[in-house]
Amino acid sequence: MSASLDNFTIVIFGAGSDLASRKLFPSIFQLARWGHMPPSFRVIGVGRQETGHEAFRWSVRERLMEHFPEAAGDTERLDTFCRSLFYVRVDLDDPVGYEVLHDEIMRQEEAAQACRNLMFYLSIPPSLAPAVVRNLGAAGLGGRERSCTGWRKLIAEKPYGQDLESARELNRVIDEVFDESQVYRIDHYLGKEPVQNIMVFRFSNGIFEPLWNRQYIAQVMITIAEDFGIRGRGGYYEEAGLLRDIIQNHGLQLLAAIAMEPPVDLDADSIRDEKSKILRSVRRFTPDSVRDSVVLGQYEGYLAERGVAPDSTVETFAAVKFYIDNWRWSGVPFYMKAGKNLAKSVTEIVITFRCPPQNYYGSYGGAACSTPNQVVLGIQPDETVAIRFGAKRPGEEMITDPVYMKFDYRSTFQSEGLTPYHRLLLDAIEGNQMNFIRRDSVEHSWSIIDSLKDSINGQVPELYPVHSWGPESSRIYG
Ligand code: BG6
């Protein structure tokens, strides 16, 4: 446990949210069990519901049992954890409740006779975020306040804004109340082990990086497929759609990790500088370019989901062709395909290399060469790195077959590792911003998505059958 963690309080805005139930409380409880939290650790849940500390403790206990059944077998720690939970009712856009929150924190400080280290976690719809940050500032709880020695940090969940304008406004408001060094914009994909491995794979090995450019790479394909629908989040999905839910953040962050230049060093800002440059270089869309670069889809039955408008044209699938206009990647297509209710759940990145100059061994499936080399980075469910190459099929004929050399994270390291939320919460506590998105990158990502949405204006998504690979016309995207 780090010394900086004494007297630590996490304040969760949206304590009743799906994310808090499924990810935050289980992760925080686990971290406490593993000894990463000090005995004086507290969680303050903030929400609109009229409820007290005791009722809140019971509700968290029940949610933990549901989403982290192991908790039931550790009643002693569960009891201790629940005793560290408190609740404050706040109407998020009304400054009055923040005074009550302030008083609760002061009460905890008096009880501990020490300043609290405060982490404010926003697990709320993006439209509410500016008001919450403003109200924290007005109640004297902002990060720029220097009345106490404890640190103050803000973690903001995605979606971070709804478009470039709202993201800029949120950044502006945050900047008034917190210093950028105290702000952690979370994208849980950046906490996944195989995503963190992308940089390690590229920059700790001598054999790949010399080939990692337009001269040797023909295309990159990023797939983020899920075999389930919107899981009851109709209201959210109607506002977000897949482009905002997946592509703007997870998809573009994967693209940036694959395409970035080597950083000067491993300092958080050195890495984030390079990612930001890539997002800046992604070619923006125009009404002309979207015609052959974007296919949107909606799964059959989406309109019957709870909270969805009967005539909704929200997309649950997108296939997009990106280009990065810089020296390394000019002319190389980066395909991205993501969707709900697809044939299977898989997230992977396939880097396909150019064919050798001579095709001696006959074409495979009509390709320009028999087996173009590929590096396949499996993110989930398989956490793997595979290299595909051609090998001679045994026998008299000179025919090649594609074969794979594969590294599997779990069987090699015999470890499940930390989940993304464990890792990112620890990083934020420790003050390591490397895997959090910086202000400029958020704005670049939104500017890409805004250009796409503006250009596509009015295009109705194509229907696709549940458990297929998306609309027919997206097949050209691989
Ligand atoms: C979330 C999206 O950010 O990521 C969900 O809102 C999506 O729609 C989820 O299902 C996928 O994350 P993971 O790690 O569960 O695959």
Claim to verify: residue 194 and residue 327 sit in the same structural domain: yes
| Residue 164 alpha carbon to ligand 1 centre in Å | 22
- The reply to whether 427 falls in a domain is no
CA 259 to chain centre: 17
Ligand 1 pocket, residue 157 CB under 6 Å = no
Q: Which long-range contacts (CB under 8 A, 24 or more apart) does 261-268 make?
A: 261/328, 262/202, 262/203, 262/209, 266/434, 267/434, 268/432, 268/433, 268/434, 268/436
- The reply to whether 50 falls in a domain is yes
Claim to verify: residue 194 and residue 69 sit in the same structural domain: no
Q: Is the pLDDT score of 146 beyond 50?
A: yes
Residue 1 pLDDT class (50, 70, 90 cuts): very low
The torsion angles phi and psi of 139, rounded to 5 degrees, stand at -85, 5
CATH of the domain at 118: 3.40.50.720
Tens of pLDDT, residue by residue over 156-169, are 999 899 999 999 99
pLDDT given for residue 358 in this prediction: 78
CA 315 to chain centre: 19
How many domains in the chain?
2
Q: Whose CA is nearest to atom 4 of ligand 1?
A: 246
- The reply to whether 424 falls in a domain is no
| Residue 296 alpha carbon to ligand 1 centre in Å | 19
For residue 159, is the peptide bond before it cis, meaning its omega torsion is within 30 degrees of 0?
A: yes
Q: Is the pTM of this model over 0.75?
A: yes
Claim to verify: residue 369 and residue 290 sit in the same structural domain: yes
Claim to verify: residue 72 and residue 209 sit in the same structural domain: no
Atom of ligand 1 nearest to the CA of 228: 10
Tens of pLDDT, residue by residue over 400-432, are 888 999 999 989 998 766 899 999 999 999 999
| Single-letter code of the amino acid located at 311 | D
Q: Is the pLDDT score of 365 beyond 80?
A: no
Please identify, among 157, 173, 206, the residue that sits at the C-terminal boundary of a domain.
157
Tens of pLDDT, residue by residue over 9-32, are 999 999 999 899 999 999 999 999
pLDDT given for residue 368 in this prediction: 63
- The reply to whether 52 falls in a domain is yes
Domain that holds residue 30: 9-157
Catalytic residue among 36, 188, 250, 422: 250
Claim to verify: residue 381 and residue 294 sit in the same structural domain: yes
Residue 193 pLDDT class (50, 70, 90 cuts): very high
Please identify, among 134, 157, 180, the residue that sits at the C-terminal boundary of a domain.
157
Please identify, among 133, 157, 181, the residue that sits at the C-terminal boundary of a domain.
157
CATH of the domain at 260: 3.30.360.10
Claim to verify: residue 149 and residue 298 sit in the same structural domain: no
| Residue 159 alpha carbon to ligand 1 centre in Å | 11
Nearest to 224 by CA among 386, 381, 314, 345: 345
Measured CA to CA, the distance from residue 228 to residue 248 in angstroms comes to 20
Give catalytic status of residue 250 as yes or no.
Answer: yes
For residue 381, is the peptide bond before it cis, meaning its omega torsion is within 30 degrees of 0?
A: yes
Claim to verify: residue 198 and residue 151 sit in the same structural domain: no
- The reply to whether 178 falls in a domain is no
Claim to verify: residue 245 and residue 104 sit in the same structural domain: no
Radius of gyration of the chain (CA): 24
Atom of ligand 1 nearest to the CA of 347: 16
